[in-house]
Amino acid sequence: MIRMTLTEMARAVAGELRLAGAHTPDTVVSGTVDTDSRNIGPGDVFVAKPGEVTDGHLFVPAAADAGAALALVEHPVDADITQIVVPDVVAAIAALAREVVARVRAGGRLRIVGITGSNGKTTTKNLLARILQDEGETVAPRASYNNEVGAPLTMLRVTEDTRYLVSEFGAAGPGQIARLAGLVTPDVGVVLMVGLAHAGGFGGVEATLKAKTELVEAVRPGGVAVLNADDPRVVTMGAVAAARDVSVRWFGRGAAAEIRAEDVEVSGSGTTCTIVRGDERMPLRLRVLGEHHIMNALAAITAADALGVPLADAIARLETVEIAERWRMQPLGSDRIRIINDAYNASPDSMAAALRTLAQITEPGQRKVAVLGAMSELGEYAGEEHDRVGLLAVRLRIERIVVVGTDARRLFISAIGEGSWDGEAVFFETADEAYDYLMGELRDGDRVLVKSSNSAGLRHLGDRLGESFS
């Protein structure tokens, strides 16, 4: 975080300053801001966030013992540490993030990119950050820090030397992207796609479209919207951008895209294609598994292009990326038995893309094995979408379909109904049961996809399998 006095911080969050030790109102703080006391070190700021399981206020003394300079609290705590008392610590870190980013931006160097979409946000964020980090100091979210807590905490990592801030904006309901993006008014807003991920929280895909459009509406006048030319719903955002004096850069695989991919070929070592911009044609070898990640790469390249990064440099930097993120199409195991752990998140679109990738990278003589768990937050669409995944797995001729967890049982039933009844599809209540089955079932040449939403917990099953066959 930038250097701020205690008085300035209290004013930014409209809080009551309670001094401790040798602190005065003019004491300067510049440490990291975090909600986890285990991450706190000397000079840092601890945010005592109440949670569903525990209350951050219980850990203020531990933060003080770790050397924290300040605690942001909702009520005074009996601990030897300076505190700023506010009604709502989540609202307070948002207000502090707004102030910090505004101060740095006033220096004229900081450029801000916001990214949203039903799928691909974290991968695109990581790819873009890799491109930009060679241009100057770049701040981007750790993991999927994209909600009302994670996004402001990322913004608060900005310093006076930061040149680029890449923010990822997720949402479980209307208005959340508007609030988060409104803290920073991005120079560039990237919208990847509009699908059914989290549709249960929005009330349908049209409401999801409206929510994702909030990012385009938050881009500063004179800024750039980077939009998916292949998604008809995203295309409608072009008119929204034009009405706000925001220019549009289109990416995709179709002819309408300004930056597009042609000659796409998929293998077990990654995806190759030709990147086309006008008369320029440049090869890209993306080592991140999955044809669907070409769209994420295109989005990152187009955003970087809007920021003035040469196309050849962007492509060269992308080619150094081996995995997008842990638990996202992460290759594990060995050439003998390859495990692809993609169980951090799942939606109908990403589930279909992962299954198609499994089919594409499996060579003759090798078996396709899909270990599948539930897709969460689909609301009324959950049943039919799990049905679709079961049907697709059978139609892609997946030789073994291993379904795990009660919430995914309908996927198993759908696979059987489609014609997978001779042992191809099996069901287990727990990941431990599935692990025991797979340890006896897998054989040389198998290519195994592990895919589910985070809540299903199959990412840990993927890790166990990867270690067992490494």
120 marked among binding-site residues: yes
Pick the closest to residue 1 from 98, 143, 73, 76 (CA basis).
98
Q: What angle do CA 298, 303, 309 make, to 5 degrees?
A: 105
121 marked among binding-site residues: yes
Pick the closest to residue 315 from 325, 302, 328 (CA basis).
302
Euclidean distance between the first and the last CA atom of the chain, given in angstroms as a whole number:
41
What are 287's two structure tokens?
A: 């080592």
Domain boundaries, the chain: 4-87, 92-318, 330-468
Please tell me the predicted confidence (pLDDT) of residue 326. Answer: 86
CB atoms within 10 A of CB 363: 10
E-only strand ranges, 303-362? 330-333, 338-342
Q: Domain 92-318 carries which CATH code?
A: 3.40.1190.10
Please tell me the predicted confidence (pLDDT) of residue 143. Answer: 73
Task: Put residue 4 in one of left, alpha, beta given phi > 0 → left and psi -120 to 50 → alpha.
Answer: beta
Q: What angle do CA 100, 168, 320 make, to 5 degrees?
A: 110
CB 371 within 8 A of CB 392: no
Distance CA 165, CA 186 (A): 9
Q: Domain 330-468 carries which CATH code?
A: 3.90.190.20
373 marked among binding-site residues: no
Distance CA 363, CA 155 (A): 44
Distance CA 38, CA 200 (A): 34
Which residues have C-beta within 8 Å of that of residue 367, sequence separation ≥ 6? 399, 400, 443, 445, 446, 447
What are 81's two structure tokens?
A: 């540490």
- pLDDT tens over the chain, length 470 residues: 999 999 999 999 999 999 999 999 999 999 999 999 999 999 999 999 998 889 999 999 999 999 999 999 999 999 999 999 999 999 999 999 999 999 999 998 999 999 999 889 999 999 999 999 999 999 999 877 889 999 999 999 999 999 999 999 987 778 999 999 999 999 999 999 998 655 555 567 888 899 999 999 999 999 999 999 999 999 999 999 999 999 999 999 999 999 999 999 999 889 999 999 999 999 999 999 999 999 999 999 999 999 999 999 999 999 999 887 888 899 999 999 999 999 988 899 999 999 999 999 999 999 999 999 999 888 888 999 999 999 999 999 999 999 999 999 999 999 998 875 567 899 999 999 999 999 999 999 999 999 999 889 899 999 999 999 99
Please tell me the predicted confidence (pLDDT) of residue 199. Answer: 56
Distance CA 444, CA 153 (A): 45
Q: How far is CA 444 from the centre of its chain?
A: 33
- Write down the CATH superfamily of domain 4-87: MurE/MurF, N-terminal domain (3.40.1390.10)
Characterize the bridge pairing of strands 16-18 and 28-29: unpaired
Q: pTM of the entire structure?
A: 0.90
Please tell me the predicted confidence (pLDDT) of residue 421. Answer: 59
Burial of 142 (0-12, 13-18, 19+ CB in 10 A): exposed
122 marked among binding-site residues: yes
Distance CA 237, CA 218 (A): 12
